[in-house]
């Protein structure tokens, strides 16, 4: 037996996990996520694992949601830059002798 707490995943949470793209074995993945999650204060749940928020009730996972990821590495096409301003020549003042 593992020293970690064992979590039970409700059927609704398993369906939510499959809808979020966790695959065929969503229930076991969600239980593992719950074991490794950290406490968090959020309107969608009370535990967080990477970009997922889990709603736990005792030792049961009752809901799972994906947070909107931060878009740090999005490459955008550069906007056209305006042409540089024309270079003005400096007027030289007559030098005193």
Element (H, E) at 32: helix 26-36
Residues 40-58 have pLDDT tens digits of 888 889 999 998 999 999 9
The residue ranking higher by pLDDT, 10 or 72, is 10
What strands lie across the sheet with 38-39, from one edge to the other? 8-9, 60-66, 52-57, 47-49, 38-39
Which pLDDT score is estimated for 67?
87
pLDDT tens for each residue of 54-68 = 999 999 999 999 987
pLDDT of amino acid 11: 94
Q: What is the DSSP string of 62-85?
A: EEEEEPPPP--S---PPPPPPPPP
Domain ranges across the chain: 8-66
Q: How far apart are CA 5 and CA 8, in angstroms?
A: 10
């Amino acid at each position: 037996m593992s020293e970690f707490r064992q979590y039970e995943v409700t059927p609704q949470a398993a369906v939510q996990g499959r809808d979020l793209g966790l695959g065929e074995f969503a229930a076991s993945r969600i239980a593992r996520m719950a074991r490794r999650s950290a406490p968090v204060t959020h309107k969608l749940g009370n535990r967080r694992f990477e970009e997922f928020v889990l709603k736990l009730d005792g030792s049961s996972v009752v809901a799972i949601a994906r947070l909107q990821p931060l878009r740090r590495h999005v490459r955008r096409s550069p906007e056209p830059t305006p042409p540089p301003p024309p270079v003005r020549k400096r007027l030289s003042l007559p030098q005193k002798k």
